[in-house]
Structure 1
Amino acid sequence: MRALLIPLTALLTACTTVPDRPPTQTYAWATFDRSGVTASGASGLADRRAGRALTIDDPVRIASVSKLVVGLGVMRLVEEGGLDLDRDVSDWLSWPLRNPHFPDAPITLRHLLSHTSSLEDGVDYAVPLGTTLRSVTSRADAFGFHRPGSYFRYANLNFPVVASVMERATGERFDRLMERLVLDPLGLDACFNWTTCSDSAMARAVVLYRPDGTVIRDDFQGRRPDCAVLAPEGVPCDLSGYAPGSNGALFSPQGGLRISARDLAMVGMLLLNRGSHRGAQFLSPASMDTLTRQAWAWDGINGDTENGFYCAYGLAVQRLLGQDLACADDLFGDARSAIGHAGEAYGVRSGLWVDPARGRGIAFFATGLGDRPPRGRTAYTAIEEWLAGHID
């Protein structure tokens, strides 16, 4: 949950001037237009033990911006005819996904991608090896009390279900599927849970720290992790018998993408160019419109905005309304509307935002922030606002 709304007068007096001093010292950012990166910056250490400086080419666990990239993979499968946004996902899962309060209401990919499925994070969405996603989503506390399609509530649990559907539709493991569908075609040296990244990307991994300097994640010293998935103590980390579709949470589709600021900017350019990548059509303009079009917008009663942070959402794509003073999502301080996604996990705050009207965008992340970094003038933190201020 985001911090409480700040006074309306602070929103009205916000400006776009970038402060001289950032609220933290470990960050990377890259601005871009439809053709490429236009400016960038980085500060701090990617690896304190090695004394390695952070650059815009170092991959970090980008948190929930991962969801947007998963959305690209879904639309690739939709265009191939392997998936349908409005079909009951139970047809692929081979088991019934139903809110027990509305057993007659099918849940679709459109519901899952737009966070209107009625799934909630009342259960742990980090489902370990040896446990099925079905066993988790069969619990009553995995669901809220709204009919699927009628109410927005942001829930990470939606995306393990999406990943399971993708796996069942193709017979491929999620991490490898995303490499084939999205990461390789876009030329990104990125991966989910480190399985498909290059050795050079592994050597540049950004270590995540708590504010007191202790390590949280990804301190591999250039080596690949012994186990790329969550495995309980005593359970061998053996994926050779894994049945695709049984546990789409394994490779963290909700937040486990490791990607650099430069490669994230490439994803942003795809949004600006409406699905075109280096002169070739990666996704059709119609598919890009489907992802970015407003699938849900707050009308005062039909969703949980988390104190003004979520005011509109597409399919795995967040929308900033900016000019709507009923919300607190004016990240850029100039009533600018934008599309993209924010991320927050393990002391990281991240963002990928594009302004289609101006043809500009920014990719950024900051690390070592802890659970409650200083808030800004909006529902975002001070560091997110500072980094976003680099866009022209």
Structure 2
Amino acid sequence: MLSISVSSFSQKKKAEAEIKDIMKDLDVAGLSVVVVKHNKIIYTNCFGFQDIESNKVLKENALFRIASISKSFSATSIMQLVEAGKLSLSDDFSNLVGFKVRNPKFPNTVITLKMVMSHTSSINDSQGYFNLDSINPDKSRDFAKCYNDYAPGAGYEYCNLNYNMIGAVIEKTSGERFDQYIKGHVLDPLGLYGGYCVDSLDKSRFATLYEYDSLSRKLTPAPMAYEPRSELIKNYTMGYSTPVFSPTGGMKISATDLAKYMMMHMNYGQYNGVKIISKESALTMQTKVSEGEGGYGLALRGSHDLIQGKAMMGHTGSAYGLSSAMFFEPNEKFGIVVITNGSNPAYLPGGNDINAVLRKTINCLYSNFIK
């Protein structure tokens, strides 16, 4: 793999030896990493396998379903629509999504777009999040179970249903299908290859995702990660079928292209001369709304203990055995992307929000290439 610019050959070798030890200790299938320093990608590398069964070595152009980091693409799109005057973060979410979204325990409290984006909506995933019927009072008798006992705005609970509804709002507001909106307004302007529609991507580039059995220490393929859902898409209802694409977790992209996207947020909405959102919008996404997960903003969260002494901003993802992390320091202009397609998902003592593979690898890369 290409090392674009490293501080020294010995540091590179030391980092790679440490990473191989991490992979061995934590049964990692494959690992893709990118380091950004002084606002430039200085190091990219891949380790292990893209597909274990066929002995296919992981390559830099491999596409991963990155799980919850995907939410930030939806939030970025919402901020574009806010800037266009089509939405306001204070809008009543019921009016945006097309059915009543009210916590029945607090019927007079409006649930706003900002509450949904910041996981302070009082909505939960207890009834599932793969379709919107679960929370639609016209479709489900159990819709009330989707709400917690506290008032909207008064607490935090991470909720995937929030962002599958956000995807539907993007469609209703823009008039474009969710996956096509993201491609046309975020990915293409930045020159990135990826997306939410499996049938629109080169399947040979997908990194097989592996779920881990802690008893046998075996990795088992999770083919549902790239289920195309072609028939469901053929019978698609705009503004309602959106969870088919999983706005909450379904982005497929390489680590290198994810790092370029990260640099856009690190530079407050711009990358390589292309403006995706305004500085004001970028800062809004990075400003904590609650204390959840190190300080949760709008699909971006803080972390003050990931790298000692550094206030990092970013997001993690975990699904189908994959673990992903995208964190940056906007003032010092450095950032790190780490993605594994399968590993022991163990956590270090006191670090129960980001697993051991991600923590150890991020700190290895920071120590060897940035510090």
TM-score, normalized by the shorter chain, greater than 0.5 = yes
Q: Partner amino acid for 1:207?
A: T
Instruction: Judge conservation of contact 2:63–2:207 (CA < 8 Å) in 1.
Output: yes
Q: Partner amino acid for 2:296?
A: Y
Q: After superposition, give the CA deviation of every residue in 1:220-262 in whole Å (9 maximum; x if it has no partner).
A: 7xxxx5534xxxxxxxx24344221123311111111111110
Tell whether 2:325 aligns with 1:331: no
Q: Partner amino acid for 1:292?
A: Q
Question: Residue 7 of structure 2 corresponds to which residue in structure 1?
Answer: none
Unaligned 5+ runs, structure 2 = 1-13, 213-217
3-state SS of the aligned residue for 2:357?
Answer: helix
Question: Residue 229 of structure 2 corresponds to which residue in structure 1?
Answer: 227
Question: Residue 204 of structure 2 corresponds to which residue in structure 1?
Answer: 203
Tell whether 2:145 aligns with 1:141: yes
Question: What displacement does 1:377 show?
Answer: 5.1
Tell whether 2:348 aligns with 1:375: yes
Question: What displacement does 1:111 show?
Answer: 0.3
Question: What displacement does 1:170 show?
Answer: 2.1
Question: Residue 339 of structure 2 corresponds to which residue in structure 1?
Answer: 365
Instruction: Judge conservation of contact 1:207–1:218 (CA < 8 Å) in 2.
Output: no
Whole-angstrom CA distance in 2 between matches of 1:264 and 1:214: 25
3-state SS of the aligned residue for 1:110?
Answer: helix
Question: Structure 1 pair 119/34, CA: closer, same or farther in 2 (3 Å)?
Answer: farther
Q: Partner amino acid for 1:88?
A: D
Question: Residue 14 of structure 1 corresponds to which residue in structure 2?
Answer: none
Unaligned 5+ runs, structure 1 = 1-16, 229-236, 298-304, 323-329
Q: Partner amino acid for 1:216?
A: A
Query: What is the aligned-residue RMSD (CA, Å)?
Result: 2.3
Instruction: Judge conservation of contact 1:136–1:142 (CA < 8 Å) in 2.
Output: no
- 1:20-99 map, 5 Å: 20=18, 21-22=21-22, 23-25=26-28, 26-33=30-37, 35-99=39-103
Instruction: Judge conservation of contact 1:206–1:218 (CA < 8 Å) in 2.
Output: no
Question: What displacement does 1:192 show?
Answer: 1.0
Q: Partner amino acid for 1:344?
A: S
User: Which has a greater percent of helix?
Assistant: 2
Instruction: Judge conservation of contact 2:296–2:302 (CA < 8 Å) in 1.
Output: yes
Question: Structure 1 pair 170/269, CA: closer, same or farther in 2 (3 Å)?
Answer: same
Instruction: Judge conservation of contact 1:84–1:109 (CA < 8 Å) in 2.
Output: yes
Q: TM-score, normalised by structure 2?
A: 0.85
Tell whether 2:248 aligns with 1:254: yes
- 1:235-250 map, 5 Å: 237-250=231-244
Whole-angstrom CA distance in 1 between matches of 2:192 and 2:261: 9
Question: Residue 215 of structure 1 corresponds to which residue in structure 2?
Answer: 221
Q: TM-score, normalised by structure 1?
A: 0.80
Question: Residue 315 of structure 1 corresponds to which residue in structure 2?
Answer: 298
Q: After superposition, give the CA deviation of every residue in 1:345-383 in whole Å (9 maximum; x if it has no partner).
A: 11111100001122100111112225x435355223221
Q: After superposition, give the CA deviation of every residue in 1:51-107 in whole Å (9 maximum; x if it has no partner).
A: 221123211111111111211111111111222111002112222111111111111
Question: Structure 1 pair 34/258, CA: closer, same or farther in 2 (3 Å)?
Answer: farther
Instruction: Judge conservation of contact 1:34–1:273 (CA < 8 Å) in 2.
Output: no
Q: Matched residue pairs, number?
A: 338
Instruction: Judge conservation of contact 1:296–1:313 (CA < 8 Å) in 2.
Output: yes
Whole-angstrom CA distance in 2 between matches of 1:210 and 1:315: 29
Whole-angstrom CA distance in 2 between matches of 1:99 and 1:248: 22
Question: What displacement does 1:285 show?
Answer: 0.6
Q: Partner amino acid for 2:190?
A: L
Whole-angstrom CA distance in 2 between matches of 1:203 and 1:50: 12
Question: Structure 1 pair 30/136, CA: closer, same or farther in 2 (3 Å)?
Answer: farther
Whole-angstrom CA distance in 2 between matches of 1:181 and 1:133: 29
Instruction: Judge conservation of contact 2:169–2:239 (CA < 8 Å) in 1.
Output: yes
Whole-angstrom CA distance in 1 between matches of 2:238 and 2:134: 11
1:278 to 272, 287, 291: 272
